[in-house]
Amino acid sequence: MPTMLRQFWICCSLLCCCSFAWATREGDPDPKFNTGQNVTLTLPAAASSNPPLGVLGIYKSINIGDYVTAVFYKNSSGTNFSTALVRQLANGQPNPYFSGANSKVVLSDPGKFMTAMAPIAAIDSTVMVGYTTNGNSQIVVCRYTDQGLPDSLLTGHDSSGCIYFAAAGIGGPNANGLLARAVIVQPVDSKIVIAGSVYDVSTGVHSLFVMRLSASGALDTSFGNAGIFIYAYNLNGGKSNEANALKLDASNRILIAGDTQNGTGSNYDFAVLRLTPAGAIDQCTPSVVTFACAISFDFHRAGDYDDSASAIAIDSVGSIYVAGTAHADNSNAKATAVMRLTDQFLKYNFSQIFSQFTDFVDGTGPDDSPGIAIDAKDRVLLAAGKAGYFAATWRILGSGFSDPAYNNGSITEPGRVAVTKPPTSVVSGEFLLAQAKIFFDGNKPVIIALTRIYGSGTGVQLVLSRRLGDDTIFFDGFGP
C-alpha cells in the first residue's frame, strides 16, 4: 500500500474508532451545551412548598442566537410577585446581557400575576401577559426590549412597561373575573393575540376570549367584534370555559386549547377550536358535511372527571396535537394525555392516554401539565413529569404510543428520559414545581423547568437543558 494511502487509511480508522467509542444516544444531554450539564439559576423565590410560580415561555433570539426565557415567582419575602427575563448563550454559558448579568427582574408588583410570554422575533422584543390580582379585574400586557427595558413601541405603557384592559371592555358591562393565560405574536405583522377567560356576573358563565392587538397595543378592530372574540360551549349546561394555549397554523389561523365544563358537575373536557385570521369560528369540511371547528373531548378515565388541555403543536401535514392532563377521579390520579386531530378536526385512531409518571417514583400523585414540540420527522416530544417530582422528555409516535427507539431503546420506561433529578433520600433530587416548556433548536430539544431541591423549602431553580436529537451523535466534533 502506498505510504500516503496507508496514512489516510490509518487516520480514517482512528476517526471511526474514536467516533464509535464516543457515540451517545438521542435524548442524552448535549455535550456542546454547558459540557453536557443542565444549567441552573437559583431564584429568590418564596420558601413555601408550592409558591405561585411558572415558566412563561422560552425562545431562541434571531439577532443573538441565545435562549431567552421569562419566569414568574413570588419573592422570598412573600410580599411581591416578580417577573424576570433570563438570557443564556446557546453553548450553555450565561449571557451577561443585562449590565453584566444574564437575568433581570423586569416587573415587581404584588398586584400582577403574569402567565405567558412570546417574542417579537424581528426586533428581539418580548411580550408578556397576565392579569391583576388587586380586585380591578384587568388584563395586563407588557412589552420589553432586548435590554429588558419598557418598550416605547407599546403605546401608553406605564413605568413598568405595561398597558391594561378592563373586563367591561372585553366582556361587556357585566363582565368580571378576567384572566389571560396565553399569548402569541403573528410573525407577518407583529400583532399580539391573547387568550383567556372572562366571567359574566349576570349569567354566571365563564367564557373563553381571544383578543388581538396591533404591535403598538391597540385593539385590532379588524378582528372579531371590535378586536375581541368570545365563545362558550354551553356543553350540557356547563358554564365554565377556559383558554390555556394558542398556536398559529401555516394559514395564520388561530388554534385555541383549554377546557369546558360538561354539565354542572366537576367534569371538564378538552376544548379545541380554530379561528380564521379575521377572528371568526373557522369551518371544517372533512367530507360532505361542514361544521364549526370547535370540539370538546372527554377521555373517560374511569368515569367523567376533569380533563384540561395546556399545549398545542402542529406537524408537517397539518395534524394538530393537543396535550394536557386527564383525571381518573376527583383527587390526584391525573395522567398526561394527548389527542391528535386532522386539519379538519377529525380525531385520529390514536392512543390518547398515557400512564402517569408515578411508575418512576412511588405510585402516587398527579402528572403536571406537559409542554409539547414536534421534530422534523413528525415525532411528538413532551416535556412532562409528575408534579412534585421531576421532568422528563417523552417521545411518542404518530400512532400515539411511546417510541421504544427513543434513547436507542436503552431505558426502562420506553420513550422517556429524565431531564431533572428524581427526588430520593439524598438532597440531589429536584422537585418539579410547574409546567415545563420545550422547543426545538434545529434538531435538538431545549427544555426549561422550575424545580426545588429535595428536602429544602428554599432553593427554587430555573433548570435549562438541551438534549441530543440525532440517532447517533459523536463527541469528537465530526458529528452534527
The pairing of beta strand 283-284 with beta strand 294-297: unpaired
**Quick count: other Cβ atoms within 10 Å of Cβ 58?**
23
pLDDT, residue 390, reads 62
pLDDT, residue 476, reads 37
Distance CA(197)–CA(243), nearest Å, equals: 6
Distance CA(187)–CA(273), nearest Å, equals: 21
Contacts of 239 (CB under 8 A, 6+ apart): 203, 204, 205, 206, 232, 261, 264
Distance CA(227)–CA(224), nearest Å, equals: 5
Q: Is the dihedral of CA 260, 261, 266, 267 positive or negative?
A: negative
Task: Give per-residue burial for 190-202: e unless 16+ CB within 10 Å, then b.
Answer: bbbbbbbbbbbee
Contact yes or no for 436/385 (Cβ under 8 A): yes
Contacts of 192 (CB under 8 A, 6+ apart): 118, 127, 141, 183, 184, 185, 186, 212, 213, 214, 215, 217
Each of the 480 residues of the chain gets a pLDDT tens digit; together they read 455 444 444 444 444 444 343 457 888 899 999 999 999 888 887 756 556 788 999 999 998 999 999 999 888 777 788 999 999 999 999 999 998 899 999 999 888 999 999 999 888 899 999 999 876 689 999 999 999 999 999 999 999 999 999 988 898 888 888 999 999 999 999 999 999 999 999 999 999 999 999 999 999 999 999 999 999 999 999 999 999 999 999 999 999 999 999 987 778 999 999 999 999 999 998 877 899 999 998 887 766 678 889 999 999 999 999 998 887 665 556 778 888 999 998 887 666 555 443 333 333 456 778 899 999 999 899 887 765 556 778 888 877 778 888 877 655 555 667 777 655 544 455 656 677 899 999 999 999 988 776 555 556 788 899 999 864 444 433 334
Distance CA(85)–CA(151), nearest Å, equals: 14
Distance CA(443)–CA(109), nearest Å, equals: 38
Contact yes or no for 382/368 (Cβ under 8 A): no
Residue recorded with cell 372572562 = 198
* Cell digits of residue 119: 417574542
Distance CA(23)–CA(419), nearest Å, equals: 20
Residue recorded with cell 416587573 = 107
Distance CA(335)–CA(182), nearest Å, equals: 22
Domains of the chain: 3-466 (2.120.10.10)
Contact yes or no for 394/366 (Cβ under 8 A): no
pLDDT, residue 455, reads 56
Distance CA(118)–CA(184), nearest Å, equals: 6
Contact yes or no for 87/95 (Cβ under 8 A): yes
The pairing of beta strand 175-185 with beta strand 430-432: unpaired
The partner residues of 142 in beta bridges, in order of sequence, read 128, 162
pLDDT, residue 329, reads 65
pLDDT, residue 430, reads 60
pLDDT, residue 179, reads 92
Q: What are the two backbone dihedrals, phi and then psi, of residue 3, each rounded to the nearest 5 degrees? A: -60, -45
Global pTM value:
0.88
Distance CA(134)–CA(131), nearest Å, equals: 9
